[in-house]
Chain A
Amino acid sequence: MPAGSLLALLARRVASLGLTLLAASFLVFMLTQFSPANVARETLGAYALPEQVRALTRSLRLDDPILLRYARWGGVLLGLKADPLQDPRLGLHFTDPRGARYFGNFGYSTLFRAPVADVLWSRLANTALLGALALAVIVPLSLALGILAGLRPGGLLDRLISVSAIAMTSVPEFALGVILVAIFSVALRWLPGTSPLTTGAGWPLASQLVLPVAVLAIYDSGYVARMVRVAMIEVLGQPYIRTATLKGLSRRQVILRHALRNAMIMPFTVLMLQINWLIGGVVVTELVFAYPGFGRMLLQASLFGDVALIEAATLIALSIAILTQLLSDIGYWLLDPKARG
């Protein structure tokens, strides 16, 4: 891309972020129409009479064409319209302390019987903690493994690390979770097998994070380590590495000063994309360990058919994925002079 294009890049990406969110939110809205669950039925509970469900469906205008309902949902989100479920005339007693109309109003969760905003952000914070800890393990582990393997391609250490990395990516998160719990909770009794983030059962909070973080980190480290290895082999084959060696620099200096920085470019972008994978990984991991996070909430909402919460969670997950992609593009631009043209 041409020089000085960082601003243009940013502008283009923000526009595409908006468009993607618009398209994806509509896609999810369409999908939820296939679900047997419906908002009126879930709001009233399992013992509501069919007439009551029909009456609420009419008051909420759930029979309107899908585009109209989608536009109405968008209006509530942008704070242009009041959330229809909070209308006091319905007598549902759904109230949001933020008011019925504000920007970022994702509506009312029929599953948790609370405003989506009350449920969403605390769970997201729990998951962010899990993700940050996992990344703090993934980065050094995968770099170390990848660099060690890439130094002597085809050597014994390389084959050993490469096969281990393949093995690490071949274990699904749920299988790894079950295996780790069987070893460390059931057999050895060192760590708790569930992580509800409460200390009632006598396990300190830190101990509850070990196994979930291990599950997330092991699966992803194998993948990133293979990327680092490939990048390292490619960089070490470049002419400037030979020049540096011929200049009389020690192998250690060559690798630390010249090879690493260039070998970092590809893994950096991969690592940022890895955040997208982590979001998927937390759905499974949080279920295994009953962790009160964003992923398990999304799963519960999907199984229950809580449209407001599914929409909110999807948009948040997508925003995180797209923003990290943007960060990776900026990082790539900063790390690689060639990208600046």
Chain B
Amino acid sequence: MRVGRSGVAFVGLALILLWVVLALAAPWLPLPSPTAQDYAAFAHPGPSAQHWLGVDPLGRDTLARLVWGARVVLLLAPLSVLAAYAVGCTLGLLAGYYGGWTDALISRASDVILSFPVVVLYVILIANIGPSAFNIVIAVVLAAAPGVGRIVRGLARRLAAQDFIAAARLRRESGLYIMVVEILPNCRGPLLTDVCIRLGYTTIMIGTLGFLGLGLPPPSPDWGGMVQQAGPMLTVYPAMALIPAGAIISLVLGFNLLADGLSEAP
């Protein structure tokens, strides 16, 4: 793998793997339940022997909520990016390969969605259809698929003009076969970096929605929600908000460093 050659990408991968391992191991780690309230811990909400990273304003163990929250974000972010890619690649291939009115229709519709400031689109969407894991995936697909589609369309247009596609047409291959078997695999390179960047950005978005009060409904552990709930305690116990904020930053940094390493690698 090319990652090995770039120190930056290695650091990124290590950050991501750290959270992946913690998330996978969550049920077996000796941690309190992420939703159990320890009323005795209120007196000293800071780090202690029972609660290594302290507790949140409701007396729930911060470390347990971070680790279980990692499961949420590491499931939701890749799942929604995958779904956005499925829709985006389909639209991009159709627009780029067929051109004409198919292209015009898809491109104009994409332009409308891409004109929205991203956060505004998310807020309006989630505020109206309601906050849930499924609706977050829907929102990411709607917001990100047009961007993916635009990249794939450009690549598909360029590839469609090449000889091997003409050869495939002469062999009377179907449009579906040409798009999926001949064109799509050749888009891999540029899309790989884009996937990493989108994973990082989607992690930011999921955190932001949680912070705005539009994330997963309580009591699910949600990193952005943790920062929001600890906000009023910032003057007294800043660590309560800073720890989950640090968790989000480390994961996003991981995705972005990996993206940088992948794009610089030869």
Chain A contact residues, CB within 8 Å of chain B: 16, 19-20, 23-24, 27-28, 31-32, 34-36, 162-163, 166-167, 169-175, 178-179, 181-182, 185-187, 193, 276-277, 279-281, 283-284, 287, 298-299, 302-303, 305, 310, 313-314, 317-318, 321-322, 325
B207 touches A303 (CB 8 A): no
Closest 6 CB pairs of A and B: A280-B119, A302-B127, A175-B245, A280-B117, A279-B117, A170-B253
**B234 is contacted by which of A20, A163, A169, A181 (Cβ under 8 Å)?**
A181
Contact with A along B226-266 (1 / 0, CB 8 A): 01100100110010011001101100110011001000000
Query: When chains A and B are docked, how far (Å) is the Cα of A28 from the Cα of B117?
Result: 13
A175 touches B249 (CB 8 A): yes
Chain B facing A: main interface SS = helix
A162 touches B249 (CB 8 A): no
**A283 is contacted by which of B108, B119, B125, B257 (Cβ under 8 Å)?**
B119
A166 touches B253 (CB 8 A): yes
Stretch from B34-42, B87-95, B208-216 that touches the partner: B208-216
A172 touches B252 (CB 8 A): yes
Chain B residue numbers with a CB within 8 Å of A284 are 119, 208, 211-212
Chain B residue numbers with a CB within 8 Å of A276 are 115, 117
A20 touches B112 (CB 8 A): yes
Query: When chains A and B are docked, how far (Å) is the Cα of A331 from the Cα of B228?
Result: 41
Query: When chains A and B are docked, how far (Å) is the Cα of A125 from the Cα of B118?
Result: 21
Chain A residue numbers with a CB within 8 Å of B246 are 175
B115 touches A322 (CB 8 A): yes
When C-beta atoms are compared, the residue in chain A nearest to B228 turns out to be A174
A31 touches B128 (CB 8 A): yes
* Contact of A170 with B234 at beta-carbon distance under 8 Å, contacts A175-B227, A283-B119 already known: no
* Contact of A32 with B207 at beta-carbon distance under 8 Å, contacts A178-B231, A178-B245, A277-B118 already known: no
Check if B18 is an interface residue, CB within 8 A of chain A. no
A269 to chain B, nearest CB (A): 15
When C-beta atoms are compared, the residue in chain B nearest to A303 turns out to be B127
A283 touches B123 (CB 8 A): yes
A317 touches B116 (CB 8 A): yes
A171 touches B249 (CB 8 A): yes
B119 touches A302 (CB 8 A): no
Check if B8 is an interface residue, CB within 8 A of chain A. yes
Chain B contact residues, CB within 8 Å of chain A: 8, 108-109, 111-112, 115-120, 123-125, 127-130, 200, 204, 207-208, 211-214, 224, 227-228, 231, 234-235, 238, 241-242, 245-246, 248-249, 252-253, 256-257, 260
Residue picked from B112, B248, B249, most chain A C-beta under 10 Å: B112
B210 to chain A, nearest CB (A): 9
Query: When chains A and B are docked, how far (Å) is the Cα of A19 from the Cα of B111?
Result: 11
Sample (5) of A-B pairs whose CB atoms are under 8 Å apart = A34-B130, A170-B253, A172-B249, A317-B116, A318-B115
A191 to chain B, nearest CB (A): 14
Chain B residue numbers with a CB within 8 Å of A166 are 253, 256-257, 260
B117 touches A277 (CB 8 A): yes
**A298 is contacted by which of B123, B208, B238, B257 (Cβ under 8 Å)?**
B123
A307 to chain B, nearest CB (A): 10
Chain B residue numbers with a CB within 8 Å of A31 are 124-125, 128-129
Chain A residue numbers with a CB within 8 Å of B123 are 283, 298-299, 302
B253 touches A178 (CB 8 A): no
* Contact of A321 with B212 at beta-carbon distance under 8 Å, contacts A186-B238, A314-B124 already known: no
Chain B residue numbers with a CB within 8 Å of A318 are 115-116
Query: When chains A and B are docked, how far (Å) is the Cα of A32 from the Cα of B130?
Result: 11
B207 touches A174 (CB 8 A): yes
Chain B residue numbers with a CB within 8 Å of A167 are 253
Chain A residue numbers with a CB within 8 Å of B224 are 172, 174
B116 touches A175 (CB 8 A): no
B100 to chain A, nearest CB (A): 19
A314 touches B257 (CB 8 A): no
Query: When chains A and B are docked, how far (Å) is the Cα of A178 from the Cα of B210?
Result: 14
**A24 is contacted by which of B115, B125, B200, B235 (Cβ under 8 Å)?**
B115
When C-beta atoms are compared, the residue in chain B nearest to A23 turns out to be B112
